[in-house]
Amino acid sequence: MGEVFAGRYELADPIGRGGVGAVWRAWDHRRRRYVAAKVLQQRDAHSLLRFVREQGMRIDHPHVLAPASWAADDDKVLFTMDLVTGGSLVHLVGDYGPLPPAFVCTLLDQLLSGLAAVHAEDVVHRDIKPANVLLEATGTGRPRLRLSDFGIAMRLGEPRLTETNLVVGTPGYLAPEQMQGAEPDFPADLFAVGLVALYLLEGAKPDTKALVRYFLEHGTPGPPKGIPEPLWQVVASLLQPDPADRFRTATGARKALAAAAELLPEPGIDDELIEIFDQLGPLPPGFGPEGPLRQAPGIALELLPDGPPVPPSGTAQQEDPYTGTGTGDTGTGPGGSTDARTGTDPGASSPTGSLSDTGSFRLPPPPHPLDPIPGPHALPSTPTPAPPPPHTPPIQAPGPMPAPLPMPDPLPAPPVDTTTAAYTARAPHPAPATPPLPAPSPAPGRRHRARRALRRPGPPAKAVIPLLLLALVCYAVGFWALARL
């Protein structure tokens, strides 16, 4: 079992190391497949900004390996990509040395295709090198290349995360204008592609300083040994020290490369066959081709291998708005239902009696109004629940009040309506209160006395008027006395 990250990604084994983090082979419990997870190692603000910028690169292209998703867990962050198992161009050259020109043309065409998609998003990669160009494990079939590692990539016009006098990139794969502190631009990426092409054709890392110096002092040199002239013309155009002398776009370089590839001789029978192997090796103990062999603690419940319960036939499929997974309500008996998210009866009382933890709930349906029934001793009709629970006996029409009988034992409470949704309050709904029986009408002779009995007590009107007059006289005398002082 490996470390579980954000309840979804289970780290298996480290497979590489980048500029700001380590790359792990991880099992994605949601997608049920292995992915490459890049975990941030340094937690300073500068590294976090680069990490956020890299995971924001969403470029969908068959020859670009961009981040697909990201997650955060406490003080750790990671993003995931497709798992590419064939290693990088460094592994390929390490296995075979200089590669055949026709094979190199195929790789360069895919690299320029992916780079054209990156530039179409106004993104400058700034770190194109053999270690960042990965290969699928295609065996002896047609190779498939993926441009990866956007850790220091930036969009045109974005603020730089480094000082103006600080150069960012890999020594030996920097364009001359980058060494002079120029703003990142597309021609710098094309210069790096030329260096990668020379690395593949010669089987060794080129001496960039000596190459640029020779171009500046003697102009474009002749093709090195083993490199056909048409292909060298394309590579030399990419390696020009002056950005204005290079190809303007990756698409233009790709067109020139296609024209040069048509002039190359056909591969011979005795030429070595290039095979791209799986460079990752076997899975660590505890992991198999279908994922971890044992369930690790910390996996989210909705991501367990068994998955959510399958709804029975005829049950409507509902989508959980919080997990995005489909759930269905399954009945527990007449008038009951099961909470699709917790498997508990929504009518069961909770210790706190509160609503759903998510705060999303529905109010219970209002009861139907009572039907008035005439008659001085008629009983009120029982409200009909909505919807009526199964096996509810029919309501009998009320009749006249029977003679008084001995009080029977109290009847059990009516069944609780639990047919509401999963986000209804878990406390049982109280049964509607039965209104009291109407009081008998008083006799005609007693109505007048009842009205007089309900009158408000107080002094009679004959005594109130003299008292008010006396109070006014007292006020007048008082004011007169004050005025005399």
State whether 191 and 294 are in the same domain.
no
Query: Residue 309: what pLDDT?
Result: 38
223 and 99 assigned to the same domain: yes
Q: Which of 262-266, 283-287, 462-466 has the lowest mean pLDDT?
A: 462-466
Rounded to whole angstroms, the Cα distance separating 130 from 202 reads: 13
pLDDT at 114 over 80: yes
pLDDT for 426: 41
φ/ψ of 415, rounded to 5, equals: -65, 140
User: Quick one: pLDDT at residue 158?
Assistant: 75
Q: Does 217 lie in the same domain as 166?
A: yes
Residue 73 pLDDT greater than 70, yes or no? yes
118 versus 312: which is more confidently predicted? 118
Which pLDDT does position 455 carry in this prediction?
53
pLDDT average, residue stretch 380-385 = 47
Is 130 found in the same domain as 113? yes
More confident residue, 40 or 444: 40
**Does the pLDDT of residue 400 top 60, yes or no?**
no
Provide the CA 348 distance to its chain's centre, in angstroms.
Answer: 33
Confidence band, pLDDT 50/70/90 cuts, at residue 304:
low
Percentage of the chain beyond pLDDT 70 is: 61
Is position 129 within any domain? Answer: yes
Which residue, of 233, 262, 291, is where some domain finishes? 262
- Average pLDDT score over residue span 348-366: 37
Band of residue 185 on the pLDDT scale cut at 50, 70, 90: very high
CATH code of the domain covering residue 27: 3.30.200.20
- Does residue 10 have a pLDDT over 90? yes
pLDDT at 390 over 90: no
Q: What is the domain count for the chain?
A: 2
**How high is the pLDDT of residue 419?**
41
**Structural domain harbouring 74:** 4-83+281-301
Return the pLDDT at 282: 93
Same domain, 97 and 177: yes
Structure token digits, residue 256: 């020139």
pLDDT for residue 310 = 36
**Residue 337, token pair as written in the block:** 């239902």
Residue 291 has a pLDDT of 93
Same domain assignment for residues 96 and 235: yes
Is 212 among the domain residues? Answer: yes
DSSP code per residue over 333-400: BTTB---TTT-S-TTSPPSS----TTS---PPPPPPPP----STTPPPPPPPPSSPPTTPPPPPPP-S
Task: Name the pTM for this structure.
Answer: 0.61
Question: What is the structure's pLDDT at 482?
Answer: 84
- Dmax (CA) for the chain in angstroms is 140
- Does the active-site annotation cover 371? no
Q: Domain with 205 in it: what CATH number?
A: 1.10.510.10
Q: Which phi and psi (to 5°) does residue 123 adopt?
A: -110, 130
| Mean pLDDT (the chain, rounded) | 74
Looking at the predicted structure, is the pLDDT value of residue 340 above 80? no
Which of 48-52, 123-127, 237-241, 427-431 is predicted with the least confidence, judged by mean pLDDT? 427-431
The pLDDT of residue 313 = 38
The one-letter code for the residue type at 320 is D
Q: At what angle do helices 229-238 and 250-262 cross, to 10 degrees?
A: 170
Identity of the highest mean pLDDT range in 73-77, 274-278, 314-318: 274-278
Position 173 pLDDT exceeds 70 = yes
Q: Do 215 and 285 sit in the same domain of this protein?
A: no
258 & 288 share domain: no
Produce one character per residue of 382-419: b if its CB has 16 or more CB atoms within 10 Å, e if not: eeebeeeeeeeeeeeeeeeeeeeeeeeeeeeeebbbbb
Q: In this predicted structure, what is the pLDDT of residue 269?
A: 76
Of the given ranges (92-96, 220-224, 307-311, 478-482), which has the lowest mean pLDDT?
307-311
76 and 139 co-located in one domain: no
Is residue 93 in a domain? Answer: yes
More confident residue, 171 or 398: 171
Establish if 211 belongs to a structural domain.
Answer: yes
pLDDT of the residue at 49: 67
Q: Looking at residues 131-147, what average pLDDT do you find?
A: 96
Domain assignment of residue 122, yes or no: yes
Residue 236 is assigned to a structural domain of this protein: yes
At residue 460, the pLDDT reads 67
Report the C-alpha gap between 136 and 144 in whole angstroms: 6
Find the catalytic residue in 13, 44, 73, 127: 127
Structural domain contains residue 368: no
CA distances from 358 to 8, 174, 286, 423, 424 (A): 21, 53, 36, 8, 11
Task: Note whether 24 and 39 are within 8 A (CB).
Answer: yes
How many CA atoms are closer than 13 Å to the CA of 186, on its beta-carbon side? 19
Q: Rounded to an integer, what distance in angstroms lies between the CA atom of residue 31 and that of residue 23? A: 19
Task: Note whether 177 and 68 are same-domain residues.
Answer: no
Q: Are residues 235 and 108 in the same domain?
A: yes
Q: Per the domain annotation, does 462 fall within a domain?
A: no
* 4: phi then psi, degrees, rounded to nearest 5: -95, 130
Beta partners for residue 76, in sequence order:
73
For residue 198, pLDDT over 70 is answered with yes
Q: pLDDT digits over 245-271, tens only?
A: 999 999 999 999 999 999 998 877 777
| 34 shares a domain with 159 | no
- The answer, yes or no, to whether residue 452 has pLDDT greater than 50, is no
Tokens of 74: 């406490």
pLDDT of 458 reads: 61
The predicted pLDDT at position 283 comes to 94
- Low-confidence winner among 384-398, 418-432, 459-473 (lowest mean pLDDT): 418-432
